[in-house]
């Protein structure tokens, strides 16, 4: 029997609207073959897979919540923004976000919810609205001593971007730190950094970028002797674009996020962040 990966389960659930455990079983029964798993679900008549499979769920809604030391971002996907911005849909996302915070876990499929499980609720909801509705990404941060903040960008009456940020080295009750944490969450939503700092960029990503920049520079006819310096300069540009601490703060581009943090005090750091946007992986 195939070793079923969580990412494959999530992808199958998004494609078919079937429950998490049903998707996991389908993949196990078909040796990890996604297309065969879709057929398996159709044959079993599970969660309306035969009617909704293959219909792209690239719309949806996002909600965020921070309650003390726990924060969550939850995404519920749908096919159209008409459904995604409906009061029932946005209320469901809000309730699921509160559940994620109370459960402090990122797998909610089998958690009790509205008299059923989350998976069952989502399946019933999908049948009600006639669209491929699925539980999307769930991110939960829990901090023992840090400061959490969240930001939700609203567009067309529903959240389309959700952000969580954790700061360390601060007193969570410090008003200045709270303000900066929220500013950084807003910045992450707008600037979409990939990493906290250049130290977090994987070596293979750096080498791939270096190779691209080297080829680009040669194609531009740059002098061979000057290539190392040119490539390093362009690589620094990559870090400034991709790394949160090196980006110019969206409200004050001449001030980097690292400088913004320093204004709170010594030892303040962004421990981690998460950003989820509807329609993006």
Domain-by-domain residue ranges, the chain? 6-52, 59-195+256-277, 202-242
- Cβ-Cβ contacts under 8 Å for 206 (sequence gap 6 or more): 235
Residues 185-191, mean pLDDT to the nearest whole number: 97
Residues 94-104, mean pLDDT to the nearest whole number: 96
Q: Which of 11-20, 129-138, 244-253 has the highest mean pLDDT?
A: 244-253
**CATH code for residues 59-195+256-277:** 3.30.479.20
**CATH code for residues 6-52:** 1.10.8.10
Predicted local confidence at residue 53, as pLDDT = 46
**For all residues of the chain together, what is the average pLDDT?**
90
Residue 8: in which H helix or E strand, if any?
helix 6-16
Q: pLDDT tens-digit profile of 44-65?
A: 666 554 444 445 557 999 999 9
Predicted local confidence at residue 281, as pLDDT = 67
Q: pLDDT tens-digit profile of 3-16?
A: 788 888 888 877 77
Q: Would you state the CATH architecture of domain 202-242?
A: Orthogonal Bundle (1.10)
Residues 30-47, mean pLDDT to the nearest whole number: 78
Angle between helices 118-129 and 20-29 (to 10 degrees): 100
Question: Cβ atoms within 10 A of the Cβ of 56, count?
Answer: 11
Predicted local confidence at residue 43, as pLDDT = 65
Residues 152-177, mean pLDDT to the nearest whole number: 95
Predicted local confidence at residue 52, as pLDDT = 47
112 pLDDT higher than 80: yes
Q: What is the torsion angle, in degrees rounded to the nearest 10, for the CA atoms of residue 178, residue 180, residue 183 and residue 184? A: -110
**Sheet containing 59-67, strands listed edge to edge, beginning at the edge strand earlier in sequence:** 59-67, 70-78, 134-142
Predicted local confidence at residue 49, as pLDDT = 44
Residues 131-151, mean pLDDT to the nearest whole number: 94
């Amino acid at each position: 029997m195939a070793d079923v990966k969580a990412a494959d389960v999530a992808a199958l659930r998004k494609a078919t609207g079937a429950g998490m455990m049903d998707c996991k079983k389908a993949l196990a029964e078909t040796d990890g073959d996604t297309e065969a798993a879709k057929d398996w679900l159709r044959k079993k008549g599970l969660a309306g897979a035969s009617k909704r499979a293959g219909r792209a769920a690239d719309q949806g809604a996002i909600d965020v919540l921070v309650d003390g030391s726990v924060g969550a971002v939850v995404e519920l996907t749908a096919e159209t923004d008409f459904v995604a911005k409906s009061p029932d849909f946005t209320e469901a996302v809000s309730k699921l976000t509160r559940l994620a915070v109370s459960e402090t876990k990122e797998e909610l499929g089998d958690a009790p919810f509205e008299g059923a499980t989350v998976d069952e609720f989502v399946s019933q909801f999908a049948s009600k609205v006639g669209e491929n509705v699925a539980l999307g990404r769930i991110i939960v941060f829990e901090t023992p001593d840090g400061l959490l903040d969240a930001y939700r960008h609203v567009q067309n009456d529903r959240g389309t971007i959700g952000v969580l940020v954790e700061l360390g080295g601060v007193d969570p009750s410090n008003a200045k730190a709270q303000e900066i944490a929220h500013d950084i969450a807003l910045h992450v939503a707008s600037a979409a950094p990939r990493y906290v700092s250049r130290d977090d960029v994987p070596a293979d990503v750096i080498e791939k970028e270096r190779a691209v920049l080297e080829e680009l520079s040669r194609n531009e006819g740059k002098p061979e002797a000057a290539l190392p310096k040119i490539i390093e300069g362009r690589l620094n540009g990559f870090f400034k674009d991709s790394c949160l601490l090196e980006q110019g703060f969206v409200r004050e581009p001449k001030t980097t996020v690292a400088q913004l943090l320093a204004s709170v005090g010594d030892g303040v750091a962004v421990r981690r962040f998460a950003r989820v946007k509807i329609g993006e992986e």
